Amino acid sequence: MAHTGNSSMHGSSSRPQLLDLSKAEIQGNEEEKYPSILLPNQSHDISYLALDIGGSLIKLVYFSRHQDQSTNDKRMRNVKNRLGFPSNRRSYPILGGRLHFVKFETRKISECLDFIYSKKLHFGGGESRYSDGSTELNAIIKATGGGAHKFADLFKERLGLILDKEDEMSCLVAGANFLLKAIRHEAFTHMEGQKEFVQIDPNDLFPYLLVNIGSGVSMIKVDGDGKFERISGTNVGGGTYWGLGRLLTKCESFDELLELSQKGDNRNTDMLVGDIYGGMDYAKIGLSASTIASSFGKATSEKKGLEDYRPEDISLSLLRMISYNIAQIAYLNALRFGLKRIFFGGFFIRGHAYTMDAISFAIHFWSNGAAQAMFLRHEGFLGALGAFMSYEKHGLDDLMVHQLVERFPMGAPYTGGNIHGPPLRDLNEKISWMEKFLQKGTEITAPVPMTRPGTTGLGGFEVPLSKGSILRSDASALNVGVLHLVPTLEVFPLLADPKIYEPNTIDLSDHSELEYWFKILSENLPDLVAKAVASEGGTDDAKRRGDAFARAFSAHLTRLMEEPAAYGKLGLARLLEMREECLREFHFFDAYISIKQRENEASIAVLPDLLMELDSLDEETRLLTLIEGVLAANIFDWGSRACVDLYNKGTIIEIYRMSRNKMQRPWRVDDFDVFKERMLGTGDKKPPPHKRALLFVDNSGADIVLGMLPLARELLRRGTEVVLVANSLPALNDVTAMELPDIVAEAAKHCDILRRAAESGGLLVDAMSTTLDSPRGNSSSVPLMVVENGCGSPCIDFRQVSSELAAAAKDADLVILEGMGRALHTNLNARFKCDALKLAMVKNQRFAEKLIKGNIYDCICKYEPAN
């Protein structure tokens, strides 16, 4: 039945793809060691494609390289030179190649072929050769699964593709290894309808047991990359469930059979311990009355025929019988080989909540709680991903977890890996698709509309509660996104302990918390749409895109309310970033651009008076006034409903003055005196200045101009290098790294300290001739520099920051986080290796009450010395 054997991965040699080199030219500085080369006539996407063709589903993984629009900004290049960072790195590191996951029913293979053709994926394979003496050049793509043999001629005939067949088990293991090492929230447990994501340490992954449940079952002991052994298996698997189910219930599809199980009650067919012992437990050996003593046992003692039993009950009993037995055999093998982790996947599971619950219960029961069943979000794509990795130069091996970003575009035609319409060629087609299909509700985006989390009865002894009204082939309730491969992202080097770092302060696993934030985001949506449309001139096209964005983001919220774990572990930072991604998906790249420009101009106009006031104060009073100014200016946040209401009652300067006048200590969190002692010392004891400060800035307008720039000026005055850290991409009214140099240049017209520091840091174009020749510049002033943080969100996750920021952090000994998003919603509890100051005004009543036991407009000044 089950044989044992050793296998390893062997990638085939690859020929490079043909590139269109016509009109190629070097882009940027030709003196750079590795300058960028622009290929204007090369296809925008160069793709690699791999397939896993099974008996029921075709899984397709393809990679597209998207050419980045690099900038030739001399100011930014000079800053990077000063930091010792190669200037040919991308200006927008969150852009890059993407790994896509798509699936089709095998019986509809023509749809798969049409998709490949429409996307021109058959032109982008990793290899090519002439087939059997013909004059036709055939692309070669990697494929695995039985269908790679069965449909080889069809792929060659329709698309001119040669399927290079890879070993199925080798691909399965390679795909699992990659996902477990590279995706932060790939593995999860599933008990009583509750998903809990498990962080796997890549250095402590092996060995583990991989249980693949297809028609039959293979149990694979994985000892490392390319090192695995099939140690056991069973012929009782998914095929058994489907075969017996079809005979006994007359169901026409596997999914129909699964759907029946959700309405079943196995007590009508299974013999329970309580049936044998008069409703009593068998406590002596630890069996409860609800324990199944014999699957289908009641059929032996009742004078009933098949027609007397409900198909729903039969389906449920079958599902339990097979799930329990597979799980028991898996645990016994894990025990035999001393394996700590057991991962389940394959066609039989398909993310079905009740199936996962049944397997989890059995593992828990037989191990007395010592072992857990774990599942994978991308489990259906293990083989296709492994086939992709069999390309000789696939480039995935060296990627680390912080270099992959998963995004969830509303990008029809596919969501959750499933095709829902024709391939789309442009944004207009996407909008048309949404207008047509999204009106049907969340069925397009939600594989299984779920009830609120509840119990299925541990082990499934009771009627399952985690069931949906609709069940389709992607019954996982876990959407599969697009993986962005971003080699330029790094872990922030100043985190005290990256392994225990958790960015989110708010716990969205609390359902009431989740409902509250969804309500806030929904209420703010009309105002956001209005500003987005206005930023594009209010055209009919902008209105249509605005409506599509509102539909798409509302669908995301609905999806997540039904199943908070649908996109992986959900935190507020991820939720807010998804909103910005959705805006960009519909080509709203900076919804607040006109508002930001207007507020910057108004704030610059009053900056000279503020600087004059600050210079008239003694050192101690000036430092307090500067911190008060940062807190007061942080009131300007278009992401806060309370602040939006304030905007309607006064001008930006009036609101800023009102806010400053209300600054009264002690604040809700008030560590100013400790920070003052570090800055100024006590008595005659003067501490040395910080070497370099990283200032994570928040909003445009008064926040940056009247708050953070004056604070940066004070640090520069004391001899501290200052690096302003801002978003790579726009989010709400947050200032971006591309906007900051112009703001600094305007402010420098009113301040010699800022002017000299900006010249030294290469931020003033007129001074470029004095700074470009030397990495350290010729100015004796300490520099003021700008770097991007690598994200486009109101929050920041320090597990994924830009390479420029990581380089700037290496010599930094002070971090200042400003604003609710970066200092409160995320990173309030984060600890750093250097001194850290967190400054924010609370602009959300619920946050104030729950997290700091205070009120709206309370202030946070949290100082933490270096660990």
pLDDT in tens, 699-720: 999 999 999 999 999 999 999 9
Residues counted in the chain:
867
Q: What angle is formed at CA 70 by the lines to CA 65 and CA 72, rounded to 5 degrees? A: 160
* Alpha carbon 559 to chain centroid, angstroms: 16
Contact 743, 735 (CB under 8 A): yes
Contact 837, 816 (CB under 8 A): yes
Token duo for residue 305: 């025929």
pTM of the prediction? 0.83
Cα 380 from Cα 814, distance rounded (Å): 46
Contact 468, 780 (CB under 8 A): no
What's residue 13's pLDDT? 36
The alpha-helical segments, DSSP class H, found in 536-664 are 540-562, 572-585, 593-615, 619-633, 641-647, 652-661
**3-state helix vs strand vs coil in the chain, percent to 5:** 40, 20, 40
Share of the chain above pLDDT 90, in %: 52
Cα 572 from Cα 799, distance rounded (Å): 15
The DSSP bridge partners found for residue 218 are 212, 233
pLDDT in tens, 63-95: 877 644 444 456 566 666 777 665 444 333 333
Cα 48 from Cα 394, distance rounded (Å): 8
Q: What are the backbone angles phi and psi of residue 595, rounded to the nearest 5°?
A: -65, -45
Cα 408 from Cα 362, distance rounded (Å): 33
Residue where the block lists tokens 């082990």? 459
Cα 313 from Cα 237, distance rounded (Å): 19
Q: 417: pLDDT confidence band, cut at 50, 70 and 90?
A: low
Q: Which residues contact 44 (CB under 8 A, 6 or more apart)?
A: 66, 67
Strand pairing class (418-419; 292-294): unpaired
Q: What are the backbone angles phi and psi of residue 840, rounded to the nearest 5°?
A: -165, 150
pLDDT in tens, 474-517: 334 457 788 888 888 999 999 999 999 999 998 888 888 899 99
Contact 630, 614 (CB under 8 A): no
What's residue 651's pLDDT? 60
Cα 134 from Cα 147, distance rounded (Å): 25
The whole-number average pLDDT for the span 612-630 is 95
What's residue 122's pLDDT? 79
Q: How many CB atoms lie within 10 A of CB 506?
A: 23
pLDDT in tens, 5-59: 443 333 333 333 433 444 444 444 434 333 333 444 444 444 579 999 988 788 9
For CA atoms 78, 82, 87, 92, give the dihedral sign.
negative
Share of the chain above pLDDT 70, in %: 78
Instruction: Give the containing element (helix H, strand E) for 244.
Output: helix 238-249
Mean pLDDT of the chain: 81
Token duo for residue 230: 């099939």
The DSSP bridge partners found for residue 588 are none
Least confident of 417-421, 492-496, 560-564: 417-421
Contact 702, 646 (CB under 8 A): no
Contact 808, 740 (CB under 8 A): no
Contact 81, 806 (CB under 8 A): no
Nearest to 690 by CA among 796, 839, 836: 836
Contact 267, 289 (CB under 8 A): no
Nearest to 672 by CA among 862, 481, 410: 862
Listing DSSP states for 103-162 in one string gives EEEGGGHHHHHHHHHHTTGGG--SEEEE-TT-S-EEEEEEEESTHHHHTHHHHHHHH-EE
Cα 379 from Cα 561, distance rounded (Å): 23
Cα 189 from Cα 591, distance rounded (Å): 39
